[in-house]
Amino acid sequence: MAIFQYKARDAAGVTYSGLAEAANEAEAVEILKERELSVIFVKEEQAKGAAAAAGQFVLFSRVKPKDVVILSRQFAVLISANVPVVTALKITADQTENPKLRTVVSQVADEIDAGSRLSEALAKHPKIFSNFYISVIRSGETSGKLDEVLTYLADEMEKDYDMMSKIKGAMIYPAFVFAGLSGVGVVMMVFVVPKLTAILQETGGELPFATKVLIGLSGFMTTYWYLFILILAGLGVGIKFLVSTDVGKRTIDSAKLKLPVFGRLFQLIYLVRFTRSLGTLLIGGVGLTKSLKITADIVSNSVYKELIERTVKEVEDGNSISNVFAESPAIPKMVSQMMSIGEKTGKMDVILKRITEFYSREINNIVANLMTLMEPIIMVIMGVAVGVMVAAIIMPMYNMAQNV
């Protein structure tokens, strides 16, 4: 199969451009004609040189959550304006900047044009469209309220993306400073410290413990630098392997919730992700049991996934959804109590929305406080690092100068 860039015009004179996947140029033209488009030109992207690189970029480029959020918003607006699904997809594909997503949307439009349902066509691309996304779309198709469901889905996806963007943005500054300090530390240990400690060793005097430790560490990094790199690489591989096992992931996920300061933030993130996803599915018309099963995979934390799976069994046995939550220390009492009220009043979707809004505000407050606290914490870390260097090198040199 090859990737073809095309430009075509429909019966109304609207011009479209995008990418199509076909075995050859003739097949690409036939695909466009089946979509009732008049072909202006078709050009193969997987040619030699730069074109081949462009084709490979289309095939191997990654679709980011932001791309799916923008796509969902544009598609929801068009569907709400009563634009036919196939036409809306063609217009959306034309406006999509990500080449891989543009190709996928074009393929989805072709499949729907050939008689497939939207949810069925999207389900063929699970790496881009999650089970949660497809379930909400399917519920909208079943209820005949695809426009309403799409709009709500786009709103909730935007809120979730905005929340995660704020959290990631708050972590960029400390991560950058930590990386910078680590880089400077390595340069100091490999190039600067050996020259300074050589002067101290030549005196023959008794060196402080901190200086001996620094000399030993510097010597190890200078002489056995390859072992240092292997240790770091092994640590990374070990952590990755640990996360890939059920026991390891459960241990790490549990440890996340017990971290000072950040543990509370992680807890709220998982809670908001759970309540927002469950609420979106329920409003979309998906059944409670199925919604819980889908949400268990979305939360992406083993502790909460186990809680939700136990809750599914409780609901299937005819018990309350809040039973398991009420017994877990990982769930605030307010959440289980409000969900119990929502269950009794039949307004679970409304209650979930209230919980989501409340904890989303709390997350914003925690992130804002972290940003405020981060600068003094970083200053303290830098002060400690400078203090260690002074104690290990500068002070012995100062003492040596006094003795001369």
In a domain, 136, yes or no: no
Instruction: Indicate which CATH number applies to the domain containing 383.
Output: 1.20.81.30
Q: What does the alpha-carbon distance between residue 107 and residue 89 come to, in Å, rounded to a whole number?
A: 10
Q: What does the alpha-carbon distance between residue 386 and residue 188 come to, in Å, rounded to a whole number?
A: 12
192 with 87, same domain? no
pLDDT at 362 over 50: yes
DSSP states along 295-362? HHHHS--HHHHHHHHHHHHHHHTT--THHHHHH-TTS-HHHHHHHHHHHHHT-HHHHHHHHHHHHHHH
**pTM value surpassing 0.85:** no
pLDDT at 148 over 70: yes
pLDDT at 74 over 80: yes
Lowest mean pLDDT among 34-43, 114-123, 223-232: 34-43
Mean pLDDT of the chain: 83
Instruction: Indicate which CATH number applies to the domain containing 19.
Output: 1.20.81
Q: What's the residue count for the chain?
A: 404
Strand-pairing partners, residue 226, are none
In a domain, 137, yes or no: no
Greatest Cα pair distance in the chain: 95
Q: What does the alpha-carbon distance between residue 123 and residue 225 come to, in Å, rounded to a whole number?
A: 49
Indicate the residue type of 247: V
In a domain, 138, yes or no: no
pLDDT at 179 over 90: no
117 with 197, same domain? no
End residue of a domain, out of 129, 151, 185: 129
Percent of the chain with pLDDT over 90: 13
In a domain, 142, yes or no: no
Q: Which domain holds residue 6?
A: 2-129
58 with 186, same domain? no
117 with 210, same domain? no
In a domain, 148, yes or no: no
Total domains in the chain come to: 2
pLDDT at 51 over 50: no
DSSP H or E segment with residue 17: strand 15-22
Count the neighbouring beta carbons within 10 Å of the beta carbon of residue 363. Answer: 19
Question: Cβ(315)–Cβ(305) under 8 Å?
Answer: no
123 with 167, same domain? no
Question: Which tokens sit at 23?
Answer: 């075995």
In a domain, 381, yes or no: yes
118 with 163, same domain? no
371 with 253, same domain? yes
188 with 49, same domain? no
Q: What does the alpha-carbon distance between residue 229 and residue 190 come to, in Å, rounded to a whole number?
A: 13
391 with 287, same domain? yes
- Our CA dihedral for 63, 132, 281, 310, rounded to 10 degrees, sits at -140
237 with 360, same domain? yes
191 with 100, same domain? no
Q: What does the alpha-carbon distance between residue 175 and residue 378 come to, in Å, rounded to a whole number?
A: 11
124 with 165, same domain? no
Question: What's the pLDDT tens digit per position in 309-354?
Answer: 999 998 888 888 888 888 888 888 899 899 989 988 888 989 999 9
Backbone angles phi, psi at 85, to 5 degrees: -60, -45
Q: What does the alpha-carbon distance between residue 118 and residue 92 come to, in Å, rounded to a whole number?
A: 14
CB-neighbour burial class of residue 34 (10 A; exposed 0-12, middle 13-18, buried 19+)? exposed
End residue of a domain, out of 110, 129, 148: 129
pLDDT at 60 over 80: no
End residue of a domain, out of 114, 129, 144: 129
* Tokens 């989501």, located at residue: 356
pLDDT of 56: 44
pLDDT of 52: 41
* Tokens 């017994």, located at residue: 327
In a domain, 139, yes or no: no
In a domain, 140, yes or no: no
pLDDT at 46 over 70: no
